[in-house]
Amino acid sequence: MDDKHQCKVGKPGYPVAAVERGRQVIVSKNKTFYVADHDFMKCDIIPSVTMICDIPCTIEESFYKEQVYVGLKDSIFQPSDPL
């Protein structure tokens, strides 16, 4: 299980800045670029990825035989734990 990344979630129709403050972005000519500050979002979603694998006996075999499970957790109501 790897819960190291948090995806910022903003309001519908109001994008979240994915770049650091002061960085430049490409915008169409004569357009204003309005985004929410990514440091002040109300919600984060944590993608949880679990891969159950079968470790092979020899190096020629692949351990990509099993399923990969992906889930989404709300960081407030479902905090990450090491188990």
pTM: 0.47
**What's the pLDDT score for residue 81?**
63
Angle 36-42-45 from CA coordinates, rounded to 5°: 100
pLDDT tens per residue, the chain (83 residues)?
556 677 777 777 767 766 666 677 777 888 877 766 656 666 777 787 777 777 778 888 877 666 777 888 877 777 666 55
Contacts of 62 (CB under 8 A, 6+ apart): 56
**What's the pLDDT score for residue 37?**
65
